[in-house]
Chains A and B, each alone.
Chain A
Amino acid sequence: MRAVETALVTHGHADHARSGHQRVYATPETLAIMDLRYATHDAGCPVAYGEVFHLGPVSISYHPAGHVLGSAQIRLEYNDETVVVTGDYKRRSDPTCAPFEVVPCDIFITEATFALPVFYHPPTQDELQKVLDTLKTNAESCVLIGAYALGKAQRVISELRAMGYDKPIFLHGALAKMCTLYEQFGVDLGELIAVSDAQKTDMQGHIVMCPPSALNDRWSRRLPDPITAMASGWMRVRQRARQRNVELPIILSDHADWTELTDTICEVNPREVWVTHGREEALVHWCGLRQISAKALRLVGRETEDDG
């Protein structure tokens, strides 16, 4: 991905938002996230959900994608033809962002991170209940949850709070700034404490969160007998979980699972589906089976697996 004059950005994840553009159209939340991550203060043009603006002959509007704070689908209209670019999205409820909106269109460009029938994300609360149950039976340990720094971490905390978990949650340094940003946008995350400010014994029987890369690293040695958990859609596959030495897999994703992807295509009912970012072949094949015109759109800069 190269820097351009005008960029339309769906959300703040690194594979969708890069620095260096001259003008960036994005939601205020996404612009704040990009500022925090890149500290470039690009010429940001804030766009509110639903607001229509024009670039030359194209009229453009942003609509909630339900992926992370500020995430948007972008609707482009030109000569009576409309295209919707989903960016990344999900259909499940998420207390940290506005829910996905079905936007009718001619061409629907969908993500495909979990576009295989093996991917099914169980109810969020059932997955997080596993964490609370584990804490109950392991008073001497902590549960260390690996979660992506933007979106996943805050969603996990927020969902836990909604389930009535009100004890402090301990954070790896890499998660702190983004949590503060979420709180500035009105997402209440309850009491958060930096691991570096805590004693080992303080964390016994508590939840500690870190980015996935820190799960098996030296950093975790300062924790009281951690039980390794990871919140990701990839945890659906046992062998993946085992490869990462995960003891407590939490199947929880900010992406649509197979059912959400296929249901959304049916609901949006576009003339044509373009598939990108993931397992294009399977979703294109599925469309073919249902006589929906579809093709793979190969883009550069695919996400890493931590972003699940």
Chain B
Amino acid sequence: MVQIPLLERLEILADAAKYDASCASSGSVKRNSVGGKGLGSTDRGMGICHAYAPDGRCISLLKLLLTNHCVFDCHYCINRKSSNVKRARFTPQEVADLTLTFYRRNYIEGLFLSSGIIKDASHTMELLIETARILREDNDFRGYIHLKTIPEAESELVARAGLYADRVSINVELPTDAGLKRLAPDKNRVQIEGAMGDLGRAIVEAKDARKRFRHAPRFAPAGQSTQMIVGADGANDSDIIKRASGLYGTHNLRRVYYSSFSPIPDASAVLPLKRPPLIREHRLYQSDWLMRFYGYNAGEIAQAADDDGNLPLDIDPKLAWALKFRERFPVDVNRSAREDLLRVPGLGVRGVNQIIAARRQRGLRLDDVAKLTVSVTKIRPFICTVDWRPSLLTDRADLRKLLSRPEKQLELFA
């Protein structure tokens, strides 16, 4: 067989990998290359986005598929068996070399490697692990590695992946069982969640071991994440949020990513042709944020949804919740507890922290609040200060209209 040139294979296999939303290189341990023979460093805190594509997404990791050959036939996936896409494959050595070439020029933070299933799940998993091994052992690479693990592979292999990778992930793919059955006939939920459970336990055990033995090996120090596809099946936003919340709870996930189903070339006939509006994915991320940093639970997010179980698209979920529970407002910025301040639409974690610090000095006036926030007009109906009470504003029937931004021409790009 004639080998396709490297450049072309890179195009094919990067193109195939772009439907994975995650590109995060954050949350690992602090590590650097001083005193080693290789290169690379990671930070405990935030990762670095080395470029942004015109789709607004960060390019932090070299995101590749080892191969886009696949024996599975998941309808939403461009690499499914029955798809007409051009196929290509890399050897583990080639991927490792590309990673190092890019890393040395400061293009990337590391590697995000996934793969179509060739031969069988375990064989594929072995190739993924071999790539990570070449990087870590042969080249002393200390940058970030994210391995997508294959739930159908032997659990011993999944465990080995965690020893090389900073983060491991398994995609749950679809928020409902019915969706999974219909669109991903070769996958099943029990197996996916079982593998996630195994990974979760391995992560916790390794953390525990580190506490007692200084030289215990690290296992996926940046934890595990997953991805759900939005808009390919009938699940509404409440279903999705509840599922995500369940996953955060049971498997101790670092992140759940939501990926708007986007029309893929050579789509399968059972899929909707048009993608859901991008703003829907954005609203889901906002709710995810509310759950992780603002103390909302999944039930409360569901309360913010409209009757069809979907979050309103014209206003953000926090505002939607506040409009439904107006009796909880106004909140007194000078007296109220942190949890209550965090519920004020338009006030972020940073703003709340600054208000709490500043109010220890003196009673805050509306002007002061205006200085600490982006838009005081948006917050005004929900707070009182020394010199401001919203009186009737909070109860106005057309408050939603007053606060929602005029319909932006988002659909221009749809």
Please determine whether chains A and B interact with each other in the same assembly.
no
Interface residue ranges, A against B (CB under 8 Å): none
